[in-house]
Amino acid sequence: VPRLVPGVARSLRFWGRVVPIYVRYKQTQVGLASCGVAEVRKKRWAVRHEWGGEMVRKLCTDLRGFYLKDGQFIGSRADFVPRAWCRELSRLQDRVPAVDVKEIVATVREEFGVNSVMQVFGEFDVVPLASATIAQVHVARLKDGTAVVLKSQYADQEGLCKLDLRNLRRLARFLQAGAMAFFDMLSIVDEFERQIPFEFDFKREAEMMQTISKNLTAAGISPKLVIVPALPDPSLVTRRAIVQEYIRGCKVDDIKTLESWMIDRRQLMLRLGAAYGQMILVDGVFHADPHPGNLLVQYDGRIALIDFGQCKQLREEDRINLCKFYLAMASRSELATARAFGALGIELDIDPRLFPGGERELISMAATYANGLLDTRPLPESVEIDPFSSESPLKKAPIRKFPSHLFMVLRTMG
């Protein structure tokens, strides 16, 4: 019972935030149904999206847990959600409220079997370097002077995330049955449920970090183009705490610093492309959380990949199909792209009556989705996949099935 009551209270807090957001959006939708002036509709929706983005951000920061991670993902998809939401939710990437350092110290003592953090470190900064979804990061120095960072999990987060996923599954089922029937949201929840246990296992994170580092080194990409943090002491890796090399740098979207360092941003993209092409298409094991806070540019132009909590290992069949898909995309052939897109197992709910252009228009639609979902190229300005837009192709051709095992590719490449 003591464990049940906080869970019920958390669920009530979640639904108490979500329901008003949903109701306000439905009110706006109904209120504008008979409005024939496009400019008026656009302004009304802009106001609603500004409010909605702020409400969702506050939900994520107040409840934390898995809602933070979900908000970070949504905030990275300007092609699928209103830009006002993206502006608000992008703040979750590096402005997450910190927890009391006492909680972090308690985890360190328990995981490393010590009475004080100073038995492990020569120096320890009590002010966090960063606060993330499930853990907090502090700068420290080992006894030999090596600069490191400690990543330590918050207490009771794993149970909270499992509860949050159950609430999100209920929400996805409700929305998919009605207002947002245009995308297979349940498959996304399925994949998160598979991946979450991995994120709470820092031993697995260390293994993925070392595997990817070894693969990129063998390919000649690391340390020439990108770098991966080292693990200075394997004994300082447990399921809930990990100590790794401290790598300084600026976020990949910090344009002001990049310009002051005279960094060629096109070269940055080529380096990232080489690294992710190798990880996804050749090795089939990749870093699946490349938001700007996890991509640190060095003064010499190399890029450090940090935070390997979300890594994905592809099945060989999926890796090969993705190779064929990106070759088709590179050919710029809409027909080849549409065929390769379908071969990935993605299914659209097509009503031929809505496509007067026939097969040619259907092929073009599939190619547009391929670009929007799984490619880094921006969509043409004339295309708005934003589901709230009356011009969104999702209204004409909903995504009936999106294979859950491809979600991390969507999250990474989109």
Give the pLDDT confidence of 211-261 residue by residue, as tens digits: 999 999 999 999 999 999 999 999 999 999 999 999 999 999 999 999 999
Is the pLDDT at 414 greater than 70, yes or no? no
How do residues 210-225 score in pLDDT, each as one tens digit? 999 999 999 999 999 9
Predicted local distance difference test score (pLDDT) of residue 1: 40
Number of H helices, E strands in the chain: 14, 13
Which pair of tokens denotes residue 66?
Answer: 């898995």
Contact 391, 406 (CB under 8 A): no
Looking only at the bridges linking them, the beta strands covering 295-297 and 303-305 are: antiparallel
Residue type at 13 in one-letter notation: R
The total of other beta-carbon atoms located within 10 Å of residue 164's CB is 24
Write the DSSP symbol of residue 406: G
Confidence check: pLDDT of 172 > 50: yes
Query: CA distances (Å), 348 to each of 67, 327, 398, 401, 402, in order?
Result: 28, 22, 6, 7, 9
**The predicted structure's pLDDT at residue 387:** 64
On whether the CB atoms of residues 303 and 292 are closer than 8 A, the answer is: no
Beta bridge mates, 311: 287
Distance of CA 254 to the CA centre of its chain: 19
Count how many residues are written for the chain: 414
- Cβ atoms within 10 Å of 19's Cβ, excluding its own: 11
What is the pLDDT averaged over residues 65-78? Answer: 77
pLDDT-derived band at 383, boundaries 50, 70, 90? low
Q: For 70-99, what is the mean pLDDT?
A: 77
Burial (CB count <10 Å: 0-12, 13-18, 19+), residue 210: middle
Mean pLDDT of the chain: 88
* Cα of 213 vs its chain's centroid, Å: 21
User: Among 400, 403, 406, 409, which Cα is nearest to 347's?
Assistant: 400
Residue 174 C-beta-side C-alpha neighbours within 13 Å: 10
Query: 114-118, 313-317, 350-354: lowest mean pLDDT where?
Result: 350-354
Angle at 346 between CA 340 and CA 351, to 5 degrees: 105
For position 255, what pLDDT does the model report?
94
DSSP 37: -
- Which residue, 211, 219, 217, is CA-closest to 286? 211
The full DSSP string for 324-366 is HHHHHHHHT-HHHHHHHHHHTT-EE---GGG-TTHHHHHHHHH
Range from 74-83, 125-134, 192-201, 377-386 carrying the lowest mean pLDDT: 377-386
pLDDT of residue 2: 45
Q: What pLDDT, on a 0 to 100 scale, did the predictor assign at position 385?
A: 62
Measure CA of the first residue to CA of the last residue in the chain; give whole Å. 43
pLDDT higher than threshold 70 for residue 184: yes
Render 125-191 in DSSP notation, one character per residue: -SS-SEE-SSEEEEEEEETT--EEEEEEEPTTHHHHHHHHHHHHHHHHHHHHTTTTTTS-HHHHHHH
> Chain-centre distance of CA 1, in angstroms?
34
Name the pLDDT band for 86 (thresholds 50, 70, 90): confident
Could you write out the DSSP letters of every residue in 247-283? ---EETT-HHHHHHTT--HHHHHHHHHHHHHIIIIII
